């Protein structure tokens, strides 16, 4: 049984006839992603105000703990492509908790 999803989200990209140059332009315009520590609940090597930059969704910032990177990786492409976050206060910002129960809260945003 085949179901049609009438509510699919589209990024409004017609990729059928995309040339290599057009692809490169899209890639170059993805923008960088900034992560910033906004809340520290327990013990962590990072401090409030620490900020790191993803040059692109594939290039992780250095000196960020691996547990946090594991969670951030789930959202880098969403942010890079402009997919709105669940944060009702600002759909451009993802608020992400590190996996440690006494860890940190980070904001992830796309920067131009």
Within a domain: 54: yes
Within a domain: 104: yes
The pTM score is 0.79
Within a domain: 93: yes
* Domain count for the chain: 1
Within a domain: 24: no
Within a domain: 75: yes
Please give the pLDDT value at position 17: 85
Helix runs in the chain, H state only: 20-28, 66-72, 76-80
pLDDT in tens, 9-33: 566 767 788 889 988 888 888 889 9
Please give the pLDDT value at position 112: 77
Within a domain: 62: yes
Within a domain: 1: no
Please give the pLDDT value at position 1: 47
* Cβ neighbourhood burial of 57 (10 Å; 0-12, 13-18, 19+): middle
Q: Give the separation between CA 82 and CA 93, rounded to whole angstroms.
A: 10
Q: Give the separation between CA 74 and CA 79, rounded to whole angstroms.
A: 10
Q: Give the separation between CA 28 and CA 6, rounded to whole angstroms.
A: 31
- For residue 59, the enclosing domain spans 31-111
Within a domain: 74: yes
């Amino acid at each position: 049984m085949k179901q049609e999803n009438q509510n699919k989200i589209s990024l409004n990209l017609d990729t059928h006839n995309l040339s290599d140059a057009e692809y490169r332009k899209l890639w170059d315009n993805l923008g960088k992603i900034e992560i910033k520590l906004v809340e520290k609940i327990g013990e962590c090597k990072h401090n409030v105000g620490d900020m790191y930059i993803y040059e692109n969704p594939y290039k992780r910032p250095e000196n960020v703990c691996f547990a946090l990177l594991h969670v951030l990786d789930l959202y880098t492409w969403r942010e890079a492509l402009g997919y709105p976050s669940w944060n009702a206060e600002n759909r451009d910002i993802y608020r992400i908790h590190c996996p440690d129960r006494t860890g940190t809260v980070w904001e992830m945003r796309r920067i131009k």
